[in-house]
Amino acid sequence: MNASLAATQNDKRIPVYLLTGYLGSGKTSLLKSWLGQPEFQDAALIINELGEVGLDNQLLSGASESALVANACICCTGLPGLSEALEDLFWARLERRIHKFPCLVIETTGLAEPGPVAEALTSSDLLKERYRLAGVITCLSAATADAVLTHHAQARAQLAGADLLVITKTDLLGTALLAPLHQRIAHQLAHTAGQAQMRTSSLASLTAAQVLDALQHHKPPEAHDSGHDSSPTHSHAHAHTQPHDHAHNHSAEAFFWAIPQAIERDLLRQQIAQLQSELGTQLLRLKGRIWTTQAHGVVPCVVQMAPFEAAPSFQEDLIATESTRGLTVIVALPLSERQRTALKLRMA
């Protein structure tokens, strides 16, 4: 056993796993699967979403406790909310108001860069003494990886900050295309300061045990002469030399498209296609819960569309609880006056 692994196993602080990845990269599907497995049984969650109506916190069940940091990105404007959630969960755990969760997972919004979030764990004496960063897990959709990495700096920062890179949705890419993609991404990883492990996942098949095994074999960057050590707490300094000055809140905005009544699926597809035509590449993400009408009646659905995808996907909504029905629409800024008018008309 090497010295760093032994030190980690002797560390009594609560391990924190930071789950990141660009919009639509499949983070929530993987996390939902992991929460049903022994390695993440009773884990606590902090879920970060843009928009006033959260969805991921509704879709994820199986956590002992969860906190939602909504309508702000936790790597910039939402950092105070993240620190507060971390402290609240710790005190509730200590005072036995909640289950003594063995670990904690932070799922970031798809626009978050991991560096500032990792730094938040050392932003106060309490957090530094009670939590440790156990690994940064970055998801990247195989179907849109090249386009996302080319056009979005946040995705490149998420890649650079990873201890483990999970190439997701490989079922959407043929075997002949997957190997070259793997090589291109490995080449990009080779130019980062870390030595991230890389795994693939089809239909959220990567197990929690495989994730923890990969993180255990991750080699953190070597310590620099400036005095930074290579312990888990400090191993991500390469990814965020200027943590609070990146992209000015990412130049994105979330809108909520309320759809309280059941709608025909084909009609919604037409309306989304029209929105795509009006916004073009400014449309980053679409996600929510609605009712759709079909031949056999009204069906609750989860609707999602990631960047560079041609059309939305519909999945049966298996959650029985009632919630606000509609779609969160995330757009890149600035919008033209024509685009903003079209968006407001659609949201109305």
Residue type, 209: A
Per DSSP, helices labelled H in the chain are 3-10, 27-34, 56-59, 79-94, 114-120, 125-130, 145-151, 153-160, 175-190, 208-216, 265-279, 337-347
Q: Is 229 in the same domain as 288?
A: no
Residue 335 maps to a domain: yes
Q: Is 221 in the same domain as 303?
A: no
- C-alpha neighbours within 13 Å on the C-beta side of residue 46: 25
Residue 29 maps to a domain: yes
For 275-304, what is the mean pLDDT? 91
Residue 189 maps to a domain: yes
- Mean pLDDT is highest, among 7-11, 85-89, 321-325, for 85-89
State percent of the chain over pLDDT 90: 61
Q: Is 171 in the same domain as 31?
A: yes
Residue 244 maps to a domain: no
Q: Is 168 in the same domain as 195?
A: yes
The pLDDT of residue 199: 97
Q: Residue 49 and residue 71: Cα distance in Å, rounded?
A: 6
pLDDT of 95 higher than 80: yes
pLDDT band at 4 (very low <50, low <70, confident <90, very high): low
The pLDDT of residue 185: 94
Q: Is 235 in the same domain as 260?
A: no
3-state secondary structure at position 30: helix
Q: Is 270 in the same domain as 212?
A: no
Classify strands 65-70 and 164-168 as parallel, antiparallel or unpaired: unpaired
Q: Is 228 in the same domain as 85?
A: yes
pLDDT higher for 195 or 140?
Answer: 140
Find the CATH number of the domain harbouring 260.
3.30.1220.10
pLDDT band at 230 (very low <50, low <70, confident <90, very high): very low
Residue with tokens 């500032």: 116
Q: Is 337 in the same domain as 253?
A: yes
pLDDT band at 177 (very low <50, low <70, confident <90, very high): very high
Q: Residue 252 and residue 55: Cα distance in Å, rounded?
A: 18
Residue 270 maps to a domain: yes
The pLDDT of residue 59: 58
Pick from 213, 239, 265: which residue ends a domain? 239
The number of folded domains in the chain is 2
Pick from 239, 260, 276: which residue ends a domain? 239
Q: Is 254 in the same domain as 197?
A: no
The pLDDT of residue 228: 33
224: tokens are 């620099």
The pLDDT of residue 55: 64
pLDDT of 345 higher than 80: yes
Q: Is 267 in the same domain as 302?
A: yes
Find the CATH number of the domain harbouring 29.
3.40.50.300
pLDDT band at 192 (very low <50, low <70, confident <90, very high): confident
For 139-150, what is the mean pLDDT? 96
The pLDDT of residue 111: 92
The pLDDT of residue 323: 72
pLDDT of 106 higher than 90: yes
Kindly report the average pLDDT of the chain as a whole number. 84
The pLDDT of residue 235: 36
Q: Residue 26 and residue 22: Cα distance in Å, rounded?
A: 9
pLDDT of 3 higher than 60: no
- Phi and psi at residue 133, to the nearest 5°: -75, 115
99: tokens are 């289950």
Pick from 239, 264, 291: which residue ends a domain? 239
Q: Is 326 in the same domain as 189?
A: no
Write out the residue range of the structural domain in which residue 332 sits. Answer: 249-347
Q: Is 56 in the same domain as 205?
A: yes
The pLDDT of residue 226: 32
* Cβ-Cβ contacts under 8 Å for 329 (sequence gap 6 or more): 254, 255, 256, 257, 275, 283, 285, 286, 343, 347
The pLDDT of residue 224: 35
pLDDT of 174 higher than 70: yes
pLDDT higher for 281 or 251?
Answer: 281
Residue 80 maps to a domain: yes
pLDDT higher for 10 or 170?
Answer: 170
pLDDT of 278 higher than 60: yes
